[in-house]
Amino acid sequence: MASFTLPADPPVAIDRHRDYADAFATLIASARRTLWLAEDDFRIADLGSRAVCDALWAFFVHGGELKLAAWRTGYLASDAPRFIQLRDRFGHRMQLLRVAEDCGLAAQGLAIADAQHYLKRHHADWPHGELGSSAANVALLQQQFDELWVNARPESAWNRLYI
Is the pLDDT assigned to residue 3 strictly greater than 90? Answer: no
Does 2 map to a domain? no
With cut-offs at 50, 70 and 90, classify the pLDDT of residue 157: low
Q: Domain of 110: which CATH number?
A: 3.30.870.10
Is the pLDDT assigned to residue 134 strictly greater than 80? Answer: yes
Please report the sign of the dihedral spanned by the C-alpha atoms of residue 127, residue 130, residue 136, residue 139.
positive
Number of domains in the chain: 1
With cut-offs at 50, 70 and 90, classify the pLDDT of residue 7: low
Which structural domain range is residue 147 located in? 15-158
First and final C-alpha spacing in the chain: 43
- Quickly list DSSP for 56-100: HHHHHHTT-EEEEEES--HIIIII-HHHHHHHHHHGGGEEEEEE-
DSSP state of 119: E
Does 6 map to a domain? no
Is the pLDDT assigned to residue 160 strictly greater than 70? Answer: no
Does 98 map to a domain? yes
Share of the chain above pLDDT 90, in %: 69
With cut-offs at 50, 70 and 90, classify the pLDDT of residue 53: very high
Does 80 map to a domain? yes
Is the pLDDT assigned to residue 56 strictly greater than 70? Answer: yes
Is the pLDDT assigned to residue 8 strictly greater than 70? Answer: no
- The span from the CA of 155 to the CA of 23, in Å, is 27
Output the average pLDDT for the chain. 88
The pLDDT value given to residue 123: 75
Is the pLDDT assigned to residue 2 strictly greater than 80? Answer: no
Does 126 map to a domain? yes
Does 21 map to a domain? yes
- The span from the CA of 24 to the CA of 33, in Å, is 16
Question: Over the stretch 71-99, which tens digit does the pLDDT of each residue have?
Answer: 988 899 899 999 999 999 999 999 999 99
What is the pLDDT averaged over residues 110-137?
91
- The span from the CA of 98 to the CA of 3, in Å, is 31
What is the pTM for the complete model shown? 0.90
